[in-house]
Amino acid sequence: MAADRADPRGALGDGCAAARPTRARRACAIQEGVVIEVVAPGPLSLIEDLGRPGHADVGVTRSGALDRRALTLANRLVGNQEAAAAIEVTVGGLFVRFEEPTWFAVTGAWGPMSLSGSDCPSDTAVLARGGSVLSLGPADHGARYYVAVRGGIDVDLVLGSRSTDTLSGLGPAPLAAGDMLPVGRMASVPIPAVDTLTLSAPTDGPVDVAVHLGPRDDWFSEEALVALFDSAWTVGADSNRIGMRLGGPALERSGVGSGELRSEGMVGGSIQVSPSGQPTVLLADHPVTGGYPVIAVVADADLDTFAQLRPGQSVRFRHAPPLP
């Protein structure tokens, strides 16, 4: 997830000057009303909601926010429906200007944030004045911020969702400098009457993840199944929204798995094992079919954990309770 991050402060002075970017604005479903201007997008900033389930039969995966808990918290803080579209920011580097007074909240990764040069809290509803600029620095903990605005990001729906699917290309393009993002009508409910709601800070240390064995665990040797649970797996730098590559001991196949497997349906959290013996955890933008055997599937309650893991972090698997 490493990327070169040009510092946009050179164009903005202290980060809150009113200078416009020189790049021509792209048409991005502009409508009358409140809009947000993307001054700098960082390495990868996407529009995400809770995805588009129910379309695997036409080759479309669910997609949506990698950290659903962070997305729904951000939306609750500003009085939105939990499924409203927000901005998912990988690593940091996003600068946005609020054209009108706007309530917003930032959740997920923890790192330096400012609103027109003043420190800005996370996990809190904040009212931005018209013309103010929100900046997200490189995350100190975790990997993905979520920026929700009251009313939600109101780009066009595609198959019932506003999410960007990086594998299929469905949904809005990754944000670029000069994009103008429309904001939906203000939610009818008030801003929640609390000062702060929080999730735990993303950890930098080892994480434990619950998994269910199967459906192709019989393709692997007993030694491989022991290694799956006894080993500390290392997050690879070449991970993305499609899958997280893990490094560790090779998971050897048994005699059952000596041939090739026909492509079969995949779900989020599937742990595929390539011929090299290294596992990959399929994430939100995964393909709907795959040909590598799935040794186990991450429990849905633990899947959001992968959104905030950084290269080099350690992952251990444990047996999930039996499904009802």
Residuewise pLDDT in 10s, the chain (324 residues):
433 333 322 222 233 322 222 222 333 333 346 899 999 999 999 999 999 999 999 999 999 999 999 999 999 999 999 999 999 999 999 999 999 999 999 999 999 999 999 999 999 999 999 999 999 999 999 999 999 999 999 999 999 999 999 999 999 999 999 999 999 987 567 888 765 667 788 999 999 999 999 999 999 999 999 999 999 999 999 999 999 999 999 999 997 756 778 999 999 999 999 999 999 999 999 999 999 999 999 999 999 999 999 999 999 999 999 877
CATH 2.40.100.10 residue ranges of the chain are 207-319
Query: Alpha-carbon torsion 204, 76, 154, 304, what sign?
Result: positive
Close Cβ partners of 29 (under 8 Å, ≥ 6 residues apart): 154, 155, 156, 172, 182
Peptide bond into 215 cis (omega under 30): yes
Is the pTM value of this prediction over 0.85?
yes
In CATH, the architecture of 207-319 is Beta Barrel (2.40)
Distance CA 260, CA 257 (A): 7
Q: What is the pLDDT of residue 55?
A: 95
Q: What is the pLDDT of residue 261?
A: 87
Q: What is the pLDDT of residue 31?
A: 32
Q: What is the pLDDT of residue 30?
A: 34
Own/partner contacts of 113-122, CB < 8 Å, gap of 24 or more, are 113/137, 114/15, 115/16, 116/15, 116/16, 117/14, 117/15, 117/16, 121/196
